């Protein structure tokens, strides 16, 4: 199972839309087995996939009371099915903020590795695990990042937003003692065809020093409409430009995560494209 965290300390840049869209396209359009972890106390991803329960079990129990830390919960017991055959979710709720405090107070060897240990239980059940992180660099997010293979960091035009991705890179440096392979790859979101946006995109890909996905995500009012309807974007607007952008990003992600010495079929915008990938 390949674990992908979607994380940014800045709000309003499409973090949850990115996580949910990638999960949907991997699962429902490419028939990958996908587990979604909601690591944000707001529970927006849980709501989008129809799994939000204010009194239900989920990420808090996974981190606080899993059998690997002497608790009474197995990972498989906390997984919720969705209306999408290829996508399951471990949901979150507001209590996740208290979970952060509980983990912070525990001085234990597995304080920051317990999620990685818990996910081992279901590693053969899924192809991908997509994690929607909260904005704060707290104990919940640290557990997610240490378990991950890659961090996808959305970034939009703006000096503060760009500074945020560099700050994130500095913050995860200390985590590499637990996860040496941990790395960040940025996605430019809300990109417009104006001079400022295009110049910023060029700078991101050249002088910024950040590793970036080739495909930018264009700005569209359809994204806001999808969030109002609490519907995953590629289902809400199957042929919309932003859905097409996310399909291209998923193609890049699959090529990178699954290796280039393979042959596969990647579905784009409702049609199937056969790829022969060579070294």
Instruction: Please state the φ and ψ torsions of residue 127, each to the nearest 5 degrees.
Output: -85, -40
Q: Provide the pLDDT for residue 129.
A: 98
Q: Which of 34, 119, 117 is nearest to 76 (CA)?
A: 119
DSSP per-residue codes, 26-94: IIIIT---EEEEEE-TT-HHHHHTT---TT--SHHHHHHSBGGGT-SB-HHHH-EE-SSTTEEEE---T
Tell me the pLDDT tens digit for each residue of 14-69: 999 999 999 999 999 999 999 999 999 999 999 999 999 999 999 999 999 999 98
Q: How confident is the model at residue 262 (pLDDT cuts 50, 70, 90)?
A: very low
Domains of the chain by start residue, with CATH: 2-277 (3.40.50.300)
Rounded to the nearest integer, the mean pLDDT of the chain is 86
Q: How confident is the model at residue 247 (pLDDT cuts 50, 70, 90)?
A: very high
> Mean pLDDT throughout 254-260?
84
Contact 44, 168 (CB under 8 A): no
What is the pTM assigned to this prediction?
0.87
Tell me the pLDDT tens digit for each residue of 59-92: 999 999 999 989 999 999 999 999 999 999 999 9
SS3 178: coil
């Amino acid at each position: 199972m390949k674990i992908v965290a979607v994380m940014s300390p800045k709000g309003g840049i499409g973090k949850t839309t990115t996580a949910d869209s990638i999960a949907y396209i991997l699962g429902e359009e490419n028939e990958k087995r996908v587990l979604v972890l909601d690591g944000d106390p707001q529970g927006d991803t849980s709501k989008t996939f129809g799994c939000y329960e204010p009194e239900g079990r989920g990420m808090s129990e996974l981190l606080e009371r899993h059998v690997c830390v002497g608790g009474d919960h197995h990972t498989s017991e906390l997984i919720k099915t969705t209306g999408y055959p290829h996508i399951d979710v471990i949901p979150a709720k507001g209590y996740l903020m208290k979970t952060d405090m509980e983990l912070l107070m525990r001085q234990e060897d597995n304080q920051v590795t317990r999620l990685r240990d818990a996910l081992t239980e279901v590693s053969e059940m899924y192809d991908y695990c997509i994690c929607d992180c909260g904005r704060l660099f707290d104990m919940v997010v640290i557990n997610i990042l240490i378990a991950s293979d890659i961090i996808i960091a959305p970034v939009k035009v703006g000096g503060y937003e760009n500074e945020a991705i560099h700050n994130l890179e500095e913050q995860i440096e200390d985590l590499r003692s637990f996860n040496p392979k941990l790395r960040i790859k940025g996605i430019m979101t809300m990109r417009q065809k104006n001079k400022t946006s295009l110049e910023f995109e060029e700078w991101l890909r050249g002088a910024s020093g950040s590793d970036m996905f080739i495909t930018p995500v264009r700005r569209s009012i359809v994204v806001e409409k999808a969030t109002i309807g609490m519907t995953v974007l590629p289902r809400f607007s199957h042929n919309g430009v932003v859905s097409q952008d996310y399909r291209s990003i998923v193609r890049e992600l699959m090529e990178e995560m699954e290796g280039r010495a393979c042959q596969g079929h990647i579905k784009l915008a409702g049609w199937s494209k056969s790829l022969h990938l060579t070294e």
